[in-house]
Amino acid sequence: MAAEKSDDQKRDAGSGRPLGGASRDLIAPGGKVDADRVRALANQMDREGFETGDDEDGALTVTFKLSRDLKKRLDKYLQDRIGFMSRTQLQRLIKEEAVTVNGRVPKASTTLRIGDEVRVMVPPPPTSEIPAEDIPLTVLYEDDDLIVINKADDIIVHPARGNKAGTIINALAFHFKNRSGGSLSNVGREDVRPGVVHRLDRHTTGALIAAKTDTAHWRLGKQFAERTTDKRYLAMVVGRVEPVLDTIDLPIGKHSKHRERMAVQYGANAKSAITNYRVREQFDGFALVELELKTGRTHQIRVHLSHLGWPIVGDDMYGGPLLNMRDVVGGDGDIDDEDEPLMHRQALHAWSIAFRHPISNERMEFKAPIPADFRRLLAVLREYRSRMTGTITPPGATVDLEEVENLVSE
């Protein structure tokens, strides 16, 4: 015979939803967070393409509304609701400001009263270890709390869809075990993405952070959630981009016909998406654009630029052409290998990222040298295509193009 539910379980079941998204039921009858549902939702996000989202953090939250005066400490209340986390873990969650009461940051000892609304960022339950693989990594910075790498092309950030091999996470596991020491944070381990604070698409290169401790993870995650990080990208797009700087404020949701794609949408399931762009060089038929993300939606840059008629070179998913040498040089160029591939993946690179160190609070900024294919594309355009402008620096631009040219990975 099933145990009878307590009054507070019956009345304070609450609701669950992904951060920034539409409501989803993460709370089982009786008012407890369902670990299986949390895990299933995270896996669903992977299946739908969120594993390759441009900085889409994929965090999950649950909200409880108290309909009676429990007079109970916050940490004890959450322990009753989230059974797969210990009281110590919940206290750390509260300390890291991943819990709010009525929109304010509480203490673990905060006494809950009738009408209080408790909102919790819920980490997935713990899982098995990630297989370590000797995959080359370019490390830009590393200490006891975090690591910053220059992500290469054609590698996803974390395992998904039952495949636990060949990812950045596997490479980091090997790196920590055999080269530097430490490990990835436990946050997200159940869904095979420990340490993942933000993500880049499979074919997007550049600066990527991973957390080595739980404290670092929560604090970095909070910076990404509050958009206090500064992320700058470079993209080569097709077309004449006008005006030379603007803000793209268009909501993004799942494409109605293509499961792997996103699209500009205005429906209930669309999310606000804001991208600042600044043209840095304009060629005949192409433009080098600096981009600043104000939100972090899946495929955000790619969708926004394509929607406005400026698809990224090599991004065939969103209408960008795969370039050979002849596509740039045309019939007038004297070249031997006109069929030589020039850019057969999206010309999008996360050039820099700035944030506060999660422990020292020191401001840090890291710049990732652009890869050889992007560097060559820029050189070929400068040689064979008329430059409609020289290098320009619109207000708010921070990328130093001279540094882009000179900064090369060792």
Give CATH for domain 230-353+365-406: 3.30.2350.10
pLDDT of the residue at 25: 65
All structural domains of the chain with their residue ranges:
7-122, 139-225, 230-353+365-406
pLDDT of the residue at 39: 63
In angstroms, rounded to a whole number, what is the distance separating the alpha carbons of residues 150 and 349? 10
pLDDT of the residue at 122: 80
Longest dimension (CA), the chain: 84
pLDDT of the residue at 193: 59
Asked: is 7-122 a CATH 3.10.290.10 domain? The reply is yes
> Do the domains spanning 139-225 and 230-353+365-406 agree at the CATH topology level?
yes
Task: Mention every residue, 6+ apart, whose C-beta is less than 8 A from residue 388.
Answer: 240, 282, 283, 284
Architecture per CATH, 139-225: 2-Layer Sandwich (3.30)
In angstroms, rounded to a whole number, what is the distance separating the alpha carbons of residues 255 and 257? 6
pLDDT means per 10 residues in the chain (410 residues)? 39 43 57 72 51 46 84 90 85 89 92 91 66 92 95 86 75 88 66 73 94 89 89 97 96 86 88 95 96 92 97 96 87 64 93 96 97 94 88 94 85
17 pairs with which residues across the strands? 61
CA quadruple 304, 309, 312, 314: dihedral positive or negative?
Answer: positive
Q: Exposed e or buried b for every residue in 12-49, given b needs 16+ CB within 10 A?
A: bbbebbbebbeebebbeeebbbbbebbbebbbebbeeb
- Do residues 34 and 26 lie in contact, with contact meaning Cβ atoms separated by under 8 Å? yes
> Catalytic residue numbers?
201
CA quadruple 26, 28, 89, 46: dihedral positive or negative?
Answer: negative
